[in-house]
Structure 1
């Protein structure tokens, strides 16, 4: 192979890497695991991780199925508090992202797990993270569609183990910690993780604790969301270089059991056009109030905030044009 041809292949590999970092970082931190999976096991991604929704290949809010190669799309990223590999149970984190093909732009919002919403088929409002436990992927997707009045075209779901492994494979991520605290580890051992104030390089367990912690933050879910953004940026900075990834053999051995999605290999490749938007992702916030009902804590979203976000996403997807 000629040197020029080899260089072209290397450049293409770097572009693909940035594409998968887009997928990997959008979730809320733990989606960094997806980046490692996509980069190092591309050939097996559809067979090893693909799981279609029961509804089929399109949302009921779409007249026809859409494709990242030619359409504006939405993706729901789900982080599941699961260590056994079955990816069931409640979602610990949810991020909704929209991709605009013409602008090559990305908008996203993190949905607090305690957000009080209408869950289709349920008589009373409940926490949004219960939807997945009640009815699996399809109900979780349908709940988000109902909340924002937009179709959810694709999903990516993974658990804590995927996140821990990719951060460790990156030899940690660097974040500027605003205040020190202690937090449980991924096995719920109390005060197992201590995070010091200042510029720190966090390993997988520490990064997960940093992103999950809420009780020690006076700003609650708002502070949690900002810390997740820090981790995302840290993963982007490290993941943008192949040389940063040290132990991908370990990742390959186990990640396959910790992720599912309905994005095909072709879908993922077609997302390369969004690589340039990595550092300009527009983050949107759900405004709301803390509330207790029957002694149970909820995050009650403000109706006006939900309407504004719905309009933002609908415009970005071109649904109102």
Structure 2
């Protein structure tokens, strides 16, 4: 029989031994990077040969530069995140020992909180500013998976509950990397519908294409990172029907500048909050639904046009 004593009650990790955690957690993303770049290059070549409109050179350049910046930012904050995870682990009485089979429950729990972190990132404008980078591409291809915001690590607060479950830090960081790597292959037009049972369980390319669509029926749907059944459970699932129109409701103009790609929404938030009158309006422009903010700004712009025409 399974003995819980063999799983719980692991010893604390001394701070001076934290390097053993860093060494023990495989850097899966770094190892996978060459394969990801090779597959992206192959897709680009096939797209060029077939004359498919799946890539734009400036947008691809922007995705690549954003991705390189994300790697730098990730490396810079890794040690801080590691110290935080170990600190939490050491203060839990139900610390789990390093058992590799715990990757399975950890991954499932991690994906549940990933769903909610992703959903909140679409429903509240401040958090949308940490995610809009990923949706700003108007083409759907493997390079889109590189478009990860440089400030996305702010969303680590949504994953704190996973750390409080007591999983070993090596398991926690391995799962977080596996979750990121899973999302690489779903960003492609070349994989169409998969068998029904796969489409029912997983966030496949078809399911995720919907998520990147800018049509009304596709907006704020299919948040699942690995498993799509969260969307089915919480009422945010939408099957792929007509081809998605990619991008955001108001697409950006500077497609190759990684600074602009990362921070244009924050600039807009600051401007809108400054111009808004009253606390309620300022709060709305900071934490309101990005969709509602865009609609209100559109209505305001239309009123200004009408006013200018009437005064002319």
Give the TM-score band, short-chain normalised.
under 0.3
Question: Greater RCO between the two (CA within 8 Å, min separation 6)?
Answer: 1
Q: TM-score, normalised by structure 2?
A: 0.28
Whichever structure has more helix as a proportion of its residues is 2
Q: TM-score, normalised by structure 1?
A: 0.27
